[in-house]
Amino acid sequence: MSGMEAPVRASLANGLRVLLMPDRALPVIGVAVHYGVGFRSERPGYSGFAHLFEHLMFQGSESLPKLEHHRQVQAVGGSCNGSTHPDHTAYHNTAPAEALERVLFLEADRMRAPLLTEENLRNQVAVVKEEIRRNVLSRPYGGFPWIPLPQVLYRSFANTHNGYGDFVNLDRATLTDCAAFFDAYYAPANAVLTVVGDFAVDDVVELAERHFADVPARPVPDRPVLAEPFPGSDRRDERVDPLAPMRATAIGYRLPDPETDLKQYLTNVVLAAVLGGGHGSRLVRRTVHDVPGAMQVSAACGLFGRPFEVRDPDTLVITAIERSGTPADQLAHTVDEELADLAERGPADAELGRVAPWLATMLHREMQSVPARAILLGQAELLFGRAELVAELPGLVAEVTATEVAAAAKALVGSCRAILTVQPGAGR
């Protein structure tokens, strides 16, 4: 991936940033629009609003009827979707190269004026509530660990509330709320348009000007300061999941800021992979294979299992689904032992030799897909101002040394963490 060409950047008078990555290998294009708004932008009383608004953006515009975006992209053999994250919301499309202008028109059209009606609002509130019932309330370990673990590790509303949505908050959402949310966060200057695939750069710059330049400029909201003090002692919580067949444990550690301390953040990415990244990792060997105490165990930077998906604060997460009869706190004791060993001796050469290719392979596999490339590049550009970071990651990870991993492990040995236990309930 080090051979990937640098993206081409442009900007419009209304503030929209444009990121272009030509790839003439296949007659396909990926178009993504990332907006700088997510779960952590929400105010008390409005939990779930960013996710709800993602749904509303597919409900038509002032010039196109409801669901027309889906219909037009699917009519040319393409696909489109959206996703809401802690610090951004992404909309992405895949289509044949000849449909590029159509996709750009559709994205510009809803950036200009989505169709906000009482019918659409009430309908999408119902859809979001059903999604929560299906993915969280009716599923064993639903939302684990990304919903409950931050509530143990952090303290501020922005970092702890349930971004999927609270039913009471969703039910009282009004059209006035929706209009204010759109005006505040869906300004062109709060967005990045990314296009990857089979196109000529000059053509796409002209098309972006044609379709997006007349979207009215609006002020960009101040970026929220989400940092908070590190915990002064371990924080614990225990919950019951009536649908869970076995106990689950999640352990969370605060990570260094990926913007101001990239090297330390990357070292923790490697440390997490040494601990629980794949079958050859320490925790998998010890708790799943050698002395089976867990059905599965993993460690990764990021609440969703991926690094660089959020700004500071981010979380190193270790999770396990534990077998019946496994002693309480077994996972925490094992993690402590492995961290202490790594702090004293560092990882073996073979461990580092496994981790760097393993992480690089996962990233290379994702980047083979044109739409995934548009999503990852646009995300890095919006959150960190450097789409190039995606291509640089394999090389940066390979430069992390055993001594640096040992120092990162030592820092975690002495740091305070969150430990969340989910106990099986009577419904199992």
pLDDT tens digits, one per residue of 325-362: 899 899 999 999 999 999 999 999 999 999 989 888 88
pLDDT over 70 percentage in the chain? 98
Residue in the block written with tokens 């260094």: 256
Tell me what pLDDT residue 367 has. 82
Q: Domain spanning 235-424: which superfamily?
A: Metalloenzyme, LuxS/M16 peptidase-like (3.30.830.10)
Tell me what pLDDT residue 362 has. 85
Q: Mind listing the pLDDT tens digit for each residue in 185-227?
A: 999 999 999 999 999 999 999 999 999 999 999 999 998 889 9
Domain 8-212: give its CATH architecture: 2-Layer Sandwich (3.30)
Tell me what pLDDT residue 378 has. 98
Nearest one of 417, 390, 387, 393 to 318, comparing CA atoms: 417
* pLDDT over threshold 60, residue 88: yes
Report the chain's mean pLDDT, rounded to a whole number: 94
Sequence ranges of the domains in the chain: 8-212, 235-424
Task: Estimate to the nearest angstrom the gap between the alpha carbon of 164 and the chain centroid.
Answer: 13
Tell me what pLDDT residue 6 has. 85
Burial class (CB in 10 A: 0-12, 13-18, 19+), 250: buried
| Cα 267 to Cα 352: distance, rounded to the nearest angstrom | 11
* pLDDT over threshold 60, residue 2: no
* pLDDT over threshold 60, residue 428: no
* pLDDT over threshold 80, residue 263: yes
Nearest one of 375, 310, 33 to 189, comparing CA atoms: 33
**pTM score, whole prediction:** 0.95
* pLDDT over threshold 60, residue 161: yes
pLDDT over 90 percentage in the chain? 86
Tell me what pLDDT residue 4 has. 63
Tell me what pLDDT residue 279 has. 86
What is the Cα Rg of the chain in Å? 22
Tell me what pLDDT residue 318 has. 98
| Cα 363 to Cα 373: distance, rounded to the nearest angstrom | 10
